[in-house]
Amino acid sequence: MINAEVKDKEELKKLCVENELVAVEFMATWCSPWKIMAPVFEELSYKYTNVTFLRVNIDEVDTKEEGIRSIPAFQFYKGGERVAGFVGCDAQRLREEVERLAS
């Protein structure tokens, strides 16, 4: 289950600091590749309950500070620090990143 749909960048920062491991999906509802990746991200959120999964709609939240220029984009935070990330429609890579960081 997606833990939160983030509504502003202050909330994003707060959630990334407050939780041990955070996976963030940067998306937009009009993005076709996101529509492919969304079910994968959702599936992982049920499997890895020790990870906080967040969704950020770039049309609603300013993501320049996070360096988001293309979507879908995925970033991973530990203790508020970005530890990994990638851009694109690569379900296998998403699975591998979450598994690597969560174990």
Residue whose token pair is 């360096």: 67
Which of 40, 13, 16, 17 shows the shortest CA–CA distance to 27? 40
* pTM metric for this prediction: 0.94
Q: Which two tokens stand for residue 85?
A: 């990330």
Tell me the pLDDT tens digit for each residue of 76-85.
999 999 999 9
Domains of the chain (ranges; CATH) run 4-102 (3.40.30.10)
Give residue 1's pLDDT.
Answer: 78
The residue count of the chain comes to 103
Counting Cβ atoms within 10 Å, is residue 13 exposed (0-12), middle (13-18) or buried (19+)? middle
Please check the confidence at residue 66 and state whether its pLDDT lies above 90.
no
Tell me the pLDDT tens digit for each residue of 9-62.
999 999 999 999 999 999 999 999 999 999 999 999 999 999 999 999 999 999
Give residue 65's pLDDT.
Answer: 85
C-alpha pair distances (Å), 78 with each of 2, 16, 65, 70: 17, 7, 17, 23
